[in-house]
Structure 1
Amino acid sequence: MEVIVLGVISVLTSLIAGVVGIGGGLLLIAILPNFLPVSALIPVHGFTQMFSNVSRAYFGYKDIQFEVVPKFLFGSLLGVGTIALILDMISIEYIPLFIGTYILLSLWSSKFNDKIKKYENYYLIGFLQSGLSVVVGATGPLTTTLLLKDYQDKDKVVSTAALLMSITHLLKVLVFVYFGFKFSEYLDIIVVMVIGVIIGSYLGTKLRDKVEGKKLLFTLKVLLTLLAVKLIGTVFYSTGLIL
């Protein structure tokens, strides 16, 4: 039953990302702790989102702005390599705390977003997005913020962001393979979720011009906020920081 639920969730979150351009990955990473152990959270999410973004990029191939890819890829390789060197020093027990905090700051802190916006080139964005994704999972808003400034067309932003996030998630998956994560232990979940995100990407691409993005985005922000608070509270409770 849980596998079916995850499949439905995967369709919906990928559909949201296909329509709005952001939020699907954040929403999924906020929900997954209810279904997966912490040790599997980031790698399974990364594998699933790799297919979500590849499919979204495929369906919007004509709108991808390929000139930004080499810069982003170079920065991504450096970022993932740097984090991979220190990954074994990071306690997975606190990963949900990082995720929850990141979501709240991304959604509601103008100071946080203003600081992020200072790194307005694709080398640094690639470094930060791909590097941080190994720890916090969903970092798509970093790239989307920059793309929105460079390109006014929504289809170009969504499709290009999807390709760049595909690179991020591919590199992240390779890092976890290198560290010996057994994806095969979650094969049933992964297969169902991959099918779900591809369906969601297709539907999102078709519905992008038919759904009012602002209303959906506000609803998404409220839901993400509640999930982020839940994630943070769970870490504080499980670690005994709150009695």
Structure 2
Amino acid sequence: MTELILGVLTFLTSTVAGVVGIGGGMMLIAILPSFLPLNALIPVHGLTQMSSNFSRAVFGYKDVQYEVIPKFLLGSIVGIGIFAAIINFISLEYVPLFIGAYILLSLWSQKFNDKIKKFENYYIIGFFQTGLSIVVGATGPLTMTILLKDYKDKDKVVATGAALMSITHILKVFVFMYFGFVFFDYIGIIVAMIIGAVAGSWAGTQLRDKIDGKKFTIILKVLLTALAIKVIVDVFI
């Protein structure tokens, strides 16, 4: 019964992500503590999100902007290597606060964007998004924030974001395997959630065509803003 419920919930959250490119993963990680022990939460979520994002990128492969992938991948490999090595020696308590503030300023402050331009690139975004993903659940918005500035076409934003987030989740899964997490212990739940994730990606890709570009940008900005505020508030609760 748990497998069926999680499969359906993953389908719904993956559909949301398929339409606007983000939000599904955060919705899912908010639900999972009711069904999984804490030590399994981030690994199982990571594997499911890998399936959701990778399938979304495959369904939209014509819109993926492949030129940004090598930059993001290099930054990601360096980031996850460094963070995996030092994770036990640093306090990450206030990292979500800085992520949330960065997203809000990036979305709504032109002065901030003018100053950050020379430093903001896919190497750095990959480094922080993937490196911090092993401990912080809300790094996905970093990618979507920069893509929203670089590309005006909604399909390019969603498909490229999915490809980049696939890299983050694939590397994260390898790290958890290295640290000894046994995914096979949760194989029934994982299979059900992967089926739901892929089906949701397909459904979301079909539904995305129903939204025009301007509405999509507004929806994505509002959703990113809400997620950023949630991340900041969670630090203090």
TM-score range, shorter chain: 0.7 to 0.9
Residue identity opposite 1:29 in structure 2: I
Aligned to 1:11: 11
The residue type paired with residue 19 of structure 1 is V
Which structure 1 residue ranges, 5 or more long, are not aligned?
237-243
Counterpart residue number, 1:150: 150
3-state SS of 2:209 partner: coil
Distance (whole Å) between structure 2 residues aligned to residue 24 and residue 160 of structure 1? 16
Change (3 A) 1:113 1:39: farther
CA contact (8 A) 1:20 1:217 kept: no
Q: CA deviation at 1:110?
A: 3.6
The amino acid of 1:36's aligned partner reads L
Q: Which residue identity does 1:144 align to in structure 2?
A: M
> 2 CA distance for matches of 1:113 and 1:174?
36
TM-score, with length taken from structure 2: 0.82
- Which residue in 1 is equivalent to 2:59? 59
Match of 1:48 in 2: 48
Q: d(CA) in 1 for partners of 2:189 and 2:171?
A: 21
Are the equivalent residues in 2 in contact too, given 1:29–1:138 (CA < 8 A)? no
**Runs of 4 or more consecutive aligned structure 1 residues displaced over 2 Å after TM superposition:** 86-91, 101-107, 109-119, 211-229
Match of 1:141, SS state, is helix
Q: SS at the partner of 1:134?
A: coil
Describe the superposition over 1:199-221 as per-residue Cα deviations: whole angstroms up to 9, x where unpaired: 00000000002256456975897
Alpha-carbon offset, residue 34 of structure 1: 2.0
Amino acid at match of 1:171: L
Pairwise CA distance, 1:198 = 0.3
Do 1:46 and 1:137's aligned partners in 2 also have CA atoms closer than 8 Å? Answer: no
Q: Secondary structure at the match of 2:143?
A: helix
Report Cα offsets for 1:42-70 as digits up to 9, x if no partner: 11111000000110000000001000011
CA distance in 2 between partners of 1:72 and 1:17 (Å): 20
Contact 1:102 1:136 in 2 (8 A): no
2:130 aligns to what SS in structure 1?
helix
Q: State the TM-score, normalizing by the size of structure 1.
A: 0.80
Matched, 1:130 2:116: no
Unaligned residue ranges in structure 2 (runs of 5+): none
Return the alpha-carbon distance in structure 2 between the equivalents of residues 182 and 113 of structure 1. 42
Alignment of 1:193-208 (within 5 A): 193-208=193-208
Deviation at 1:123, TM superposition (A): 0.4
Is the 1:45–1:137 contact (alpha carbons within 8 Å) kept by the matching residues of 2? no
Cα distance in 1, alignment partners of residues 98 and 35 from structure 2:
20
Counterpart of 1:74 in structure 2 is 74
Cα distance in 2 for partners of 1:193, 1:162 equals: 17
User: 1:1-243, aligned counterparts within 5 Å?
Assistant: 1-89=1-89, 109-110=104-105, 118=116, 119-211=119-211, 213=216, 214=218
Q: How many residues align?
A: 228
Superposed CA RMSD: 3.2
Does the CA contact (< 8 Å) of 2:101 and 2:228 recur in 1?
no
Q: Which amino acid aligns with 1:69?
A: I
Give yes or no for contact 1:26–1:224 (8 Å, CA) kept in 2: no
Q: Using a 3 Å threshold, how does the CA distance of structure 1 residues 124 and 19 change in structure 2: closer, same or farther?
A: same
Aligned-pair CA distance for 1:4: 1.8
Q: Is the 8 A contact 1:103 1:225 kept in 2?
A: no
